[in-house]
Amino acid sequence: MPGREELPSTLERSAEEAQRTWIKAHDSAVEQYGEGERAHRVAYGAL
């Protein structure tokens, strides 16, 4: 998964379901907004 490389260290200790949710939301946000802080914020918002 492309987002796995960008998974924040705080989420590495989280449940697999939370990791999958963050990665999916992050990848979608990157497609829509591009790489950067906004994609990370969207991904955290999905949690």
pLDDT 10s per residue in the chain (47 long)? 556 677 888 898 999 999 999 999 999 999 999 999 999 999 999 99
Domain that holds residue 32: 15-47
Number of domains in the chain: 1
Residue 7: inside a domain, yes or no? no
pLDDT of amino acid 2:
56
Residue 3: inside a domain, yes or no? no
pTM attached to this predicted model = 0.83
Residue 34: inside a domain, yes or no? yes
Residue 33: inside a domain, yes or no? yes
pLDDT of amino acid 3:
62
Residue 2: inside a domain, yes or no? no
User: 22, 31 in Cβ contact below 8 A?
Assistant: no
**How far is the C-alpha of 9 from the C-alpha of 12, rounded, in Å?**
5
Residue 8: inside a domain, yes or no? no
Residue 25: inside a domain, yes or no? yes
